[in-house]
């Protein structure tokens, strides 16, 4: 019976998740956003010898107007994961093109509030931190106008591109890796 109890105890200990692996950590590049998990022992890691030119296609809206856009947060996580391994892309090498239902994510509070029942845009601080980290966030002008917004409704941290279609095609033809939404 004692052996059975000892075996059960060993099995329970083996199945327990170590505290460190269950915890997220703040990123070294974009603190407060794009949380990561410790990845000790992971086989494929960012390579400091590579030039990471990456294009994020951001089309999904947040689950509710008071929540961060999860796709923008994914961009922050990517930057943080690179930084953990000492990889710092050059400014402009990471581009996020926002369009479709995600378009309101890049609006100033007044315009966002018109679309979101008076709520402030929860993405503003993240957009500022992404720009500070060298990420270019762009919005599709076609989506912007198609949804009834104007250029002056866009926060200053965001670049306005002619269209997501042309940005996606142009950057991929120039060698950017696409990460779809």
Q: What is the pLDDT of residues 102-141, one digit of tens each?
A: 999 999 999 999 989 999 999 999 999 999 999 999 999 9
Helix (H, G, I), strand (E, B) or coil at 58: strand
Helix (H, G, I), strand (E, B) or coil at 89: coil
Which residue range is the domain that position 111 belongs to? 2-179
Structure tokens at 107: 């609006």
Is residue 131 within 8 Å of 157, Cβ to Cβ? yes
- Residue 25's pLDDT is 64
Tell me which residue of 68, 53, 163 sits closest to 106, measured CA to CA: 68
Mean pLDDT of 147-169: 97
**Structure confidence by residue, pLDDT tens digits, 67-112:** 999 999 999 999 999 999 899 999 999 999 999 999 999 999 999 9
Structure tokens at 121: 């845009």
How many of the other CB atoms lie within 10 Å of CB of 120? 14
The number of domains in the chain is 1
pTM to 2 decimals? 0.84
In the structure, what pLDDT confidence band is assigned to residue 156 with cuts at 50, 70 and 90?
very high
- Residue 44's pLDDT is 86
CA 149 to chain centre: 23
**Regarding beta strands 54-58 and 177-179, do their DSSP bridges make them parallel or antiparallel, or are they unpaired?**
parallel
Element (DSSP H or E) covering residue 21: helix 19-22
Residue 27 sits in a domain whose CATH number is: 3.40.1260.10
How many of the other CB atoms lie within 10 Å of CB of 128? 13
**Structure confidence by residue, pLDDT tens digits, 19-67:** 333 455 666 889 999 998 887 788 888 999 999 999 999 999 999 999 9
In the structure, what pLDDT confidence band is assigned to residue 5 with cuts at 50, 70 and 90?
very low
Helix (H, G, I), strand (E, B) or coil at 136: strand
């Amino acid at each position: 019976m004692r052996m059975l109890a000892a075996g059960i105890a060993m099995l329970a200990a083996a199945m327990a998740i170590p505290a460190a692996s269950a915890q997220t950590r703040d990123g070294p590049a974009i603190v407060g956003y794009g949380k990561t998990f410790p990845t000790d022992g992971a086989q494929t890691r960012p390579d400091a010898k590579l030039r990471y030119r990456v294009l994020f296609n951001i089309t999904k809206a947040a689950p509710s107007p008071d929540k961060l856009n999860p796709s923008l947060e994914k961009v922050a996580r990517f930057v943080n994961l690179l930084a953990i391994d000492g990889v710092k892309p050059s400014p402009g090498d990471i581009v996020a093109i926002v369009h479709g239902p995600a378009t309101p994510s890049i609006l100033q509070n007044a315009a966002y509030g018109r679309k979101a029942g008076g709520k402030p845009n929860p993405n503003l601080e993240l957009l500022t931190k992404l720009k500070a980290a060298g990420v270019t966030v762009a919005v599709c002008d076609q989506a912007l106008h198609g949804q009834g917004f104007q250029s002056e409704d866009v926060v200053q941290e965001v670049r306005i591109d002619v269209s997501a279609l042309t940005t996606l095609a142009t950057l991929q033809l120039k060698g950017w890796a696409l990460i779809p939404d």
